Structure 1
Amino acid sequence: MSDLSSGKGHRDENFPVASFLLKPEHRAPIMAFYRFARAADDIADHAEALETEKLRLLGEMRAGLAGNGAPEAMALAKVAHERQLDLVHAHELLDAFTQDVMQRRYADWDALIAYCRLSAVPVGRFVLDVHGEDRSTWPLSDALCAALQVINHLQDCGEDYRDIDRVYVPLDALAEAGIGVEALGESRASPALRQVIAQLAGRTQGLLAQSAPFASAVGDRRLSAEVAVIQAQAEDLARLLTRRDPLSEPVHHSKLRMGSVAIQALLRHWFAGDRA
């Protein structure tokens, strides 16, 4: 597509992407959506590309959804046509990545969640559409996807500020703690910033409490299992962020921890009788 690729793939993400838990026939369209999203995300997050170049390339992504543009978008459009899937979710993602290029700060929690509505929520809704799930499950999915996005932002808050001058930590939370965005550029978080991160992680736990029934509400047994795993991993990371400093301490899962949380989640899910 472009020379702005980060080289990051689905195995590098914090949470499972089209894992073996899903039926093979569902993994292909989800991977097409992932490759589209990864390409667009790499454009928006590139540290050196000019804003005009980013917007031009994102325009090529949008044109590809109509059949003549970036190859990742054209591939997704082809799959969507074959499966009769709505491309509105892909267009909303592009709206989010365009916003990333144009906006570097978020005033408050509501503004951050409004951004998550475009940057994360469409992913869950697309996955549900692929599986033919009832759209009554969307609110539960929305809460989980927003939580996953906020977790990512908290984990990477220092890197985002230093590398691309982007701050997702709400400005009003920083101001209330008596600090500015510059605090994110330190090698270690101040006590005030630690308190802000912990408070935001606590609000994220509130989103996860809303999404807790999601796995049981999903009709597809294998998707239900993947949702249970993702929910458990998100809960574990949110707890970690209430206690650790993302500027100086590990706040991502190791492969071992990720596997351990996943196995425990699956055992709880199956033996609790969530899926017959």
Structure 2
Amino acid sequence: MSAGIQTATETRSGKGHKDENFPVASHLIHPRYRGAILAFYDFVRAGDDIADHTDLTPERKIAMLDGLAEALTGKGPPDPEAAPLRRELAEHSEPPTHALELLDAFRMDARKNRYADWDELIHYCRYSAMPVGRYVLDLHGEDPARVWAASDAICAALQILNHLQDCGKDFRNLDRVYIPADTLAKYGADVAMLGADKASPELLGVIRELARCTLVLLEEGAVLPDLIDDLRLSLEIAAIHRLAVVLTKGLLTRDPLSEKVHHGKAGFAVTALGGIAKTLVRRPFRGRAIRQATAEAGR
């Protein structure tokens, strides 16, 4: 079936940054960085779409991901899915390291569809999520020694939250289960329960334990907005963090198989602005910069 698919562009799902659960380079981010972040997102989305494509064999997926990597580094033929990020990296004097690590995560997705325990899941997040935060922070010139650890915790939490929200869809559509096998076993649950219209009590126990673990990660990362020098980026991350906390707490009482565990537009805005406001109160007053950043947030 995959013989007719020759390029990464042909695998694109049509999903864009505005379809994500969390802001991607919102207007809080300074315009000088937005293009580089959106180019990074589009490149990563191209890789993710390859990994999730149901008509491709694992071998073909890996070959196409290798092609994206070679196009990004200039070691192979150019690819329209890699060209914008390649230009942005050159303009900002940034290496391709973080983008290449995300391709490693998609190679894992091509080969692997089950996870044994929490540590194995966090290892996956090290490549599937943490490079995103690191890239954005590096792009802004933040100090990795000061900010990477808190960022890694938030990014891992966002990834696991996404896994929990989409656990039924991932199982039904991709036969992919990110919920650790040992946690399923602890509650007497099994992967087949993910295919039901409603979560069993056993599966709800699993989801709620993992949600609590995710809240611990979010608590570890809560300090990040206060560690960031760039005010606008600080507010963006504060909004994302607050949105993630509210959604994760929702999983303590709701069933992602039968209920929507996502923000509506109004709830999204109110929750995000709440996170921004709390961060502004904590940070030293910065006059015009604060007024400008909050005005941008309202656009």
Instruction: Name the TM-score class by shorter chain.
Output: over 0.9
Q: Is the radius of gyration larger for structure 1 or structure 2? A: 2
Mapped partners of 2:259, 2:79: distance in 1: 38
How many Å apart are 1:79 and its aligned residue? Answer: 1.3
Tell me if the contact between 1:187 and 1:248 (Cα under 8 Å) persists in the aligned partners.
yes
Q: For residue 282 of structure 2, what is the aligned residue in structure 1? A: 272
CA displacement, residues 218-258 of structure 1 (integer Å, 9 cap, x when unaligned): 00000000010001001001100111100001111111111
Q: For residue 226 of structure 1, what is the aligned residue in structure 2? A: 236
How many Å apart are 1:27 and its aligned residue? Answer: 0.4
How many Å apart are 1:275 and its aligned residue? Answer: 5.6
How many Å apart are 1:162 and its aligned residue? Answer: 0.2
Mapped partners of 2:155, 2:278: distance in 1: 21
Which structure 1 residue ranges, 4+ long, deviate > 4 Å from structure 2?
none
Mapped partners of 2:93, 2:173: distance in 1: 39
Matched to 1:28, the amino acid is G
Matched to 2:159, the amino acid is Q
Q: For residue 149 of structure 1, what is the aligned residue in structure 2? A: 159
Say whether residues 1:59 and 2:66 are aligned partners. yes
Q: For residue 88 of structure 1, what is the aligned residue in structure 2? A: 97
Q: For residue 251 of structure 2, what is the aligned residue in structure 1? A: 241
Say whether residues 1:74 and 2:83 are aligned partners. yes
Say whether residues 1:173 and 2:180 are aligned partners. no
CA displacement, residues 18-75 of structure 1 (integer Å, 9 cap, x when unaligned): 0000100010111110000001001101123222221221111111112233222232
In the superposition, the TM-score normalised over structure 2's length comes to 0.90
1:184 counterpart SS class: helix
Tell me if the contact between 1:205 and 1:238 (Cα under 8 Å) persists in the aligned partners.
yes
CA displacement, residues 61-96 of structure 1 (integer Å, 9 cap, x when unaligned): 111112233222232122112211121101100000
Against the structure 1 CA distance between its residues 98 and 274, is the aligned structure 2 distance closer, same or farther, given a 3 Å change threshold? Answer: farther
Q: Aligned residues, how many?
A: 276
* Correspondences of 1:1-276 after superposition (within 5 Å): 1-67=8-74, 68-135=77-144, 136-273=146-283, 276=286
Deviates more, 1:167-176 or 1:65-74: 65-74
Structure 1: gaps spanning 5 or more residues: none
Matched to 1:107, the amino acid is A
- Aligned-residue Cα RMSD (Å) equals 1.1
Tell me if the contact between 1:216 and 1:275 (Cα under 8 Å) persists in the aligned partners.
no
Matched to 1:211, the amino acid is G
Matched to 2:94, the amino acid is L
Against the structure 1 CA distance between its residues 275 and 242, is the aligned structure 2 distance closer, same or farther, given a 3 Å change threshold? Answer: farther
Deviates more, 1:109-118 or 1:170-179: 170-179
Mapped partners of 1:274, 1:190: distance in 2: 48
